[in-house]
Amino acid sequence: MITTRTLVIAGVFAALSSGISLAQDAKNQGYLVDTYGNNIVTSSTTGLCWRDSDWTPARSVEPCDPVARKAEAPAPKVAAVTPPQPAPAPEKMLPQKIEFSADALFDFDKSVLKPEGKEMLDGLARELNGANYEVIVATGHADRIGSNAYNQKLSERRANAVKDYLAGRGIPANRINASGKGETQPKTKPGDCKGPVGKKLIACLQPDRRVDVEVTGTKAPAANSR
């Protein structure tokens, strides 16, 4: 029983004795052809093509050997090119509002910075290092003890003290806006603090004595950012 589709001829002599010639045409090379060299000889019983001893899979032709085609050369591999990474963009700083207790910065009813107040502003200056400021606003506030005019001036002096100190730590002075609101924007509600002026009332009104620092701008990315 024939188990393969193509029959292989072991010798050339048998082909010649039957009036069949070896394939000379390059397109049919590897197969037996008729005496005119044009047509591949097939078996009269199976219809399969006759190969000669020169046949190799590389010489397969249709329809004799549809499964013995030449392997297509694989497409050349193209190395992936990684585009250069763009430089990280400056970080947009959201408006930041930092509230400093005036009692932490100054003694009561004073506008000269205390040593611990300077340490607090040193930390702020370090945090702002490398930032491109759009604006820095320092706003001073006072409690209701004293006259309106006095408290207005006190809040202004405290705001300017903060501005001058930050400017001395490398913050551009022309980007710092200092102003005072006096006692017009208290944190305490009416009726919260009662009684005569004394330690108890002063302590109760402490939230009203403050300096707000608000910053907006951009900050360069850290050196190890990726």
Q: pLDDT tens for residues 186-226?
A: 999 988 898 898 999 999 999 999 999 988 766 555 444 33
Closest Cα partner for 43 from 31, 60, 30?
Answer: 31
Residues 53 and 95 in one domain: no
Please give the residue range of the domain that contains residue 25.
7-59
Identify the pLDDT of residue 60: 76
Token look-up 């010639």 returns 21
Distance between CA 163 and CA 179 in Å, rounded? 10
Domain membership flag for residue 224:
no
Listed range (85-89, 135-139, 163-167, 220-224) with the worst mean pLDDT:
220-224
What number is the average pLDDT over the span 27-51?
68
The amino acid that residue 192 corresponds to is D
Give the distance, in angstroms, between the CA of residue 51 and the centroid of all CA atoms in the same chain.
64
Distance between CA 46 and CA 1 in Å, rounded? 11
Residues 198 and 129 in one domain: yes
The amino acid that residue 153 corresponds to is K
Q: Which two tokens stand for residue 70?
A: 């030449």
Distance between CA 186 and CA 179 in Å, rounded? 16
Q: Is the pLDDT of residue 3 over 70?
A: no
Identify the pLDDT of residue 59: 75
Domain membership flag for residue 1:
no
Identify the pLDDT of residue 113: 93
Selected residue with higher pLDDT from 142 and 30: 142
Residues 123 and 199 in one domain: yes
Domain membership flag for residue 2:
no
The total number of structural domains that make up the chain: 2
Listed range (73-82, 94-103, 175-184) with the worst mean pLDDT:
73-82
Distance between CA 25 and CA 126 in Å, rounded? 88
Residues 190 and 99 in one domain: yes
Listed range (74-88, 105-119, 135-149, 179-193) with the worst mean pLDDT:
74-88
Which domain CATH number covers 106?
A: 3.30.1330.60
Q: Is the pLDDT of residue 67 over 80?
A: no
Domain membership flag for residue 215:
yes
What number is the average pLDDT over the span 85-100?
65
What number is the average pLDDT over the span 157-181?
93
Residues 55 and 99 in one domain: no
The amino acid that residue 67 corresponds to is V
Q: Where are the alpha helices (DSSP H) in the chain?
A: 13-17, 102-105, 115-127, 148-168, 199-204
Identify the pLDDT of residue 226: 38
pTM summary value: 0.54
Identify the pLDDT of residue 46: 66
Domain membership flag for residue 76:
no
Q: Is the pLDDT of residue 50 over 50?
A: yes
Domain membership flag for residue 200:
yes
